Structure 1
Amino acid sequence: MTKSSIGYGIIGCGMMGQEHIRNIALLPDTHVAAIFEPDPGMLAASLAMAQGARPAASIAELLAMDEVNCILIASPNHHHLAQLEEIARLRPLPVLVEKPLFTDAADEARIVALKARLPLVWVAMEYRYMPPVAAFVEQAGDATGGIRMLTIREHRFPFLAKVGDWNRFNRNTGGTFVEKCCHFFDLMRLILKSDPVRVMASAAQAVNHLDERYDGEAPDILDHGYVVVDFASGARAMLELCMFAEGSRYQEELSAVGGNGKIECRVPGPGRFWPQHLGAAPVPELIVSPRNPPGPRLIEIPVDPRLLAAGDHNGSTYFEHARFVAAMRGQGEVEVTLQDGWWAVVMGLAAERSAREGRAIELADEFALPT
């Protein structure tokens, strides 16, 4: 560890927090300096991974440590906003905060107040940084001649068990379209370079968690659905989510179509879930299909095995941290802003509302959109 090494203070070290620890360890001149994690088992596991890190009994104690230069928030969703506010109040360090930024439409105004109080906030949207998705984003405009239709499909495994089972209830997560799908709504805005105006959704809980009870209460999270989004540019996007489809070869599939052609991206799920008897896990693919002359072209985009071993997000967490550290050092810009994080949550909240009420949601009528 060098004197110039950046010391992370981590708030929340469950499954995702531990993935962040593994990826921070792969970066030069960064280290985990301190950890605040209330669960004893998770704290012990995290300290074993982050050699030399100090435990903190509170966020205030963590922020008081001189060796902490930046903060990573990877706590349960419903704590993110209050923890950002505590950091802003006590010691406004640069922050990388896991999605979603907030979980309740009533909290929109609190995001605006944070912009002036924190020097650097980066919202963690790992899917942007998956190598095959990044290639798709870079090439989609040229391949299509201007995207008119964008489709994102995720067919995956059910929600995993979390400490205290917090992720089984909408009041903690914001709902499945916020918790799971804010990634995809963020990608829609990034790819289409436009903001949404209307959201329509159809969804339900059909298979997962039906027999589970927590203190006598049944989970209320959605496990499948469709969301259609109209954008100001005139483009349309659709999300198809199924969380009882872990037998799929690919977990995420993206396609964009325009007047000149089509481009697709296929991303496998976490390697640890791939059936070993089937041999090697699939390699991510990019497929470019021009209209004239017709003829699909398939490009494999393998990911460094070290990065695959460090987490469940196709190497993206490493690239996300590399860019966050560069922004801290003045060598790059914040790529996922508070406004980006806000939009992703609002789109998810609108989808939840649309599915629940059976109507299209005009965003300008129901949310305080930024000007």
Structure 2
Amino acid sequence: MKTLRYGIIGCGMMGQEHLRNIALLPDAEVVAIFEPDAAMRAEAARHCPGARLVDSVAAVLAVAAVNCLLIASPNFLHLAQLEEIAAIRPLPVLCEKPLFTDPADAPRLAALRAAYPAPIWVAMEYRYMPPVAHLIREAEAATGGIRMLTIREHRFPFLEKVGDWNRFNARTGGTLVEKCCHFFDLMRLIAQCDPVRVMASGGQAVNHLDERYEGATPDIWDHAYVIVDFENGMRAMLELCMFAEGSRYQEEISAVGPLGKIECLVPGPGRFWPAHLGAPPVPQVIVSPREPKGPRLLEVPVDPDLLAAGDHNGSTFYQHQGFARVVAGAQAPEVSLTDGWWAVAIGMAAQESARTGQAVDLRHAVPDVTM
């Protein structure tokens, strides 16, 4: 019998990326799947013909063979599903981001953290992209201590999801939560401390303006600038544009300090790269010391099998490798509930700043979940 026996809760586009990556693990299998949409359920069954298809979270937990869980349902369901699992059969969980979508839910997350007896890992894939991981490892030596961190994402608009749930702030938490919590997690990971202040400007300029769902126009944002100040003096900036899918690289991250700069260039999903342009770009890391001057470029290719398994440059596979060690009791989750809370909190602060035109001070906004 396989060591990891997953129960899957939610198996839409991202859930199926997880299925493909779990299939690459040598000692893992999916034994139960709950996906309410008929088309997505049929696709999940095609990927995992041996899995039992069930009709609820409780039914997943009732499958005795299941010994770990993946939550990949729409954002607004995550916290309630975690609470249901806690009440029935708390198993190790890998939960997709964001953890919650309503600021009022922070006390519920604190209560979950205090009572849940098994590990919960929050899915922050960008940490595990090979070029990003390389930058994180080398940043201190290359920069002499990061003073400025910039993350630029120029990408395609939000894709179509089941029920169009990703078109509205109320269901997603807003773009700076739904899409950008990954980047705020990266900022905090690289800073190795917490944020103190957030300033932002953003809105909806181009995407989804001509769409209607039950008479409502989508209100999800498609561009923003966000500046985050950290306790240690590091300043970080996010530049997001979701109508720039013609870009060669989707993410560009740079870290600069007194000794120099290190940056990484990450292409978007290979399936979106125009075939007439030839092979998709290869990820790069560039180190630019101040002395002696002259950038050094390193290509960081990703295993083709991992590229074929998803849209996140192999990171989903590496994340599951770490989660397997957690389930085996060999390590703690690398992305905790506290990390997941901070990623959402920064995004919510950014949206509030953009809405009001005022900076948001985070120094007195930390709930018990971080204690």
Q: Same fold (TM over 0.5)?
A: yes
Structure 1 stretches of 5 or more lacking a match? none
User: Are residue 362 (structure 1) and residue 356 (structure 2) matched?
Assistant: no
The 10-residue stretch of structure 1 (358-367 or 240-249) with the greater mean CA deviation from structure 2: 358-367
Q: Structure 1 residue 366: deviation in Å?
A: 4.4
Tell me the TM-score normalised to structure 2 length.
Answer: 0.98
Aligned to 1:346: 345
Give the counterpart of 2:34 among 15, 32, 36.
36
SS of the residue aligned with 2:197? Answer: strand
Aligned to 1:97: 95
- The two structures, once aligned, show a CA RMSD in angstroms of 0.9
Matches within 5 A, 1:207-356: 207-356=206-355
CA-to-aligned-CA distance 1:211-265 (integer Å, 9 cap, x gap)? 1010100101110010000000011000000000000000000000000000000
Task: Provide the rounded CA distance (Å) in 2 between the counterparts of 1:194 and 1:153.
Answer: 21
Code of the residue aligned with 2:14 in structure 1: it is M
Task: Provide the rounded CA distance (Å) in 2 between the counterparts of 1:331 and 1:348.
Answer: 32
Aligned to 1:87: 85
Task: Provide the rounded CA distance (Å) in 2 between the counterparts of 1:213 and 1:311.
Answer: 29
Task: Provide the rounded CA distance (Å) in 1 between the counterparts of 2:116 and 2:258.
Answer: 45
Aligned to 1:206: 205
Task: Provide the rounded CA distance (Å) in 2 between the counterparts of 1:208 and 1:236.
Answer: 29
Aligned to 2:75: 77
Aligned residues: 369
Q: Structure 1 residue 5: deviation in Å?
A: 2.8
SS of the residue aligned with 1:177? Answer: helix
SS of the residue aligned with 1:147? Answer: coil
Task: Provide the rounded CA distance (Å) in 2 between the counterparts of 1:221 and 1:204.
Answer: 8
Code of the residue aligned with 1:55 in structure 2: it is L
SS of the residue aligned with 2:281? Answer: coil
Task: Provide the rounded CA distance (Å) in 1 between the counterparts of 2:231 and 2:283.
Answer: 31
SS of the residue aligned with 1:154? Answer: strand
Aligned to 2:158: 159
Q: Structure 1 residue 41: deviation in Å?
A: 0.7
CA-to-aligned-CA distance 1:325-348 (integer Å, 9 cap, x gap)? 011112222100000000000000
Q: Structure 1 residue 367: deviation in Å?
A: 4.9
CA-to-aligned-CA distance 1:182-239 (integer Å, 9 cap, x gap)? 0000000111111100000000100000010101001011100100000000110000
Aligned to 1:190: 189
Code of the residue aligned with 2:170 in structure 1: it is R
CA-to-aligned-CA distance 1:124-167 (integer Å, 9 cap, x gap)? 00000000000000000110000000000000000000000000
Aligned to 1:127: 126
The 10-residue stretch of structure 1 (132-141 or 360-369) with the greater mean CA deviation from structure 2: 360-369
Structure 1 residue ranges (4+ consecutive) displaced by more than 2 angstroms after TM superposition = 364-371
Aligned to 1:53: 51
Structure 2 stretches of 5 or more lacking a match? none
Code of the residue aligned with 2:191 in structure 1: it is L
Q: Structure 1 residue 368: deviation in Å?
A: 3.0
Distance 1:304 1:291, change over 3 A: same
The share of aligned pairs that are identical, in percent, is: 69
Aligned to 2:143: 144
Task: Provide the rounded CA distance (Å) in 2 between the counterparts of 1:245 and 1:97.
Answer: 29
Q: Structure 1 residue 62: deviation in Å?
A: 0.8
SS of the residue aligned with 1:184? Answer: helix
CA-to-aligned-CA distance 1:95-149 (integer Å, 9 cap, x gap)? 0000001111101111111122241100000000000000000000110000000
Task: Provide the rounded CA distance (Å) in 2 between the counterparts of 1:139 and 1:192.
Answer: 14
Code of the residue aligned with 1:350 in structure 2: it is A
Q: Structure 1 residue 365: deviation in Å?
A: 4.1
SS of the residue aligned with 2:363? Answer: helix
Aligned to 2:66: 68
Task: Provide the rounded CA distance (Å) in 2 between the counterparts of 1:117 and 1:230.
Answer: 32
